[in-house]
Amino acid sequence: MSPFNLKLPIAIGCDHAGFDCKEDLISLLEGEGLLFKDFGTYTKDSVDYPDFAHPVAEAVEKGEAAFGILLCGSANGVAISANKHQRIRAAICWGEELAELARKHNDANIICIPARFVRDGDAEKMLDVFMNTVFEGGRHQDRVNKIAC
């Protein structure tokens, strides 16, 4: 059972480099019957990643989305953009263990996936781990409390 409120939509967005991977993840979400809001991009045409990272982060920040998924070539651009928002903890994940630790230890609420560096099927596995891992709290809560400026 997911620790996230899946009665809310999942916010998802990407730039051109993450488009194919985003479409694969949307198919997974649809197959699971999960609600989502696609913030774009909607083609492979070159775009600027902050134009999609900020709306996803805002939806999560305002409580309008259960959590967020962001994709770009390296995941650095979308993570940097999303982490400018208060109450956002966007974590770059390129493997299942990182997705698990991002949730368990950092209470991450946006997973950032480097589309150019993950193999087919890995993003889906990471998303499953991310959305089903519970934050451990305890000593990790003390650390998370120190993140915001």
The CATH number assigned to the domain with range 10-142 reads 3.40.1400.10
Sequence spans of domains, the chain: 10-142
Beta strand pairing status for 36-38 and 10-14?
Answer: parallel
The overall pTM is greater than 0.95? yes
Segment 66-117, tens digit of pLDDT:
999 999 999 999 999 999 999 999 999 999 999 999 999 999 999 999 999 9
| Confidence grade of residue 148 (pLDDT, cut at 50, 70, 90) | confident
| Confidence grade of residue 54 (pLDDT, cut at 50, 70, 90) | very high
| Confidence grade of residue 26 (pLDDT, cut at 50, 70, 90) | very high
pLDDT at 78: 98
Arithmetic mean of pLDDT over the chain = 97
16 carries an active-site annotation: no
Task: Report which residue type is found at 89.
Answer: R
Please identify which of the residues 14, 21, 54, 72 carries the catalytic annotation: 72
